[in-house]
């Protein structure tokens, strides 16, 4: 299978909130020896961008956002071990994340 088709499957899995499809596509990406970083950037991240845009436009709501994030996370669990040591990703900026001390609600941080 061409890598672009696998990227499309990863993208669709996130947008459709289909965890099994995401896992299957991630496993196929690894099996076909394609670069996991390209799959993350070309499929998963693009899908999350669409989900974020839909959330901002009130087309979907928090439970949907969390389901899409779960699909992303499940695929990442499969892809992470196959990312080459020393692989460089273009740095786009710095992100600072935190929660209020003692606050048990960390959903914003985890998303």
Please name each of the domains of the chain with its CATH number: 3-110 (1.10.1240.10)
**pLDDT value at 111 more than 80:** no
pLDDT of residue 95: 81
**pLDDT value at 107 more than 70:** no
Residues 23, 27, 33, CA angle at the centre, nearest 5°?
Answer: 150
The token duo for 73 is 């996370």
Cα–Cα separations (whole angstroms), residue 65 to 25, 72, 97: 20, 11, 19
CA distance 2 to 42: 13
Nearest 5°: phi and psi at 86? Answer: 85, 0
pLDDT of residue 90: 67
108 pLDDT band (50/70/90 cuts)? low
pLDDT tens column, 43-85: 999 999 999 999 999 999 999 999 999 999 999 999 999 987 6
């Amino acid at each position: 299978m061409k890598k672009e088709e696998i990227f499309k499957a990863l993208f669709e899995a996130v947008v459709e909130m289909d965890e099994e499809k995401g896992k299957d596509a991630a496993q196929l990406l690894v099996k076909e020896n394609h670069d996991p970083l390209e799959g993350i950037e070309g499929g998963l991240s693009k899908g999350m961008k669409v989900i974020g845009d839909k959330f901002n436009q009130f087309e979907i709501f928090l439970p949907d956002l969390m389901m899409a994030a779960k699909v992303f996370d499940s695929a990442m669990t499969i892809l992470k071990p196959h990312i080459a040591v020393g692989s460089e990703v273009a740095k786009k900026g710095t992100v600072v994340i935190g929660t209020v001390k003692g606050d048990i609600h960390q959903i914003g941080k985890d998303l």
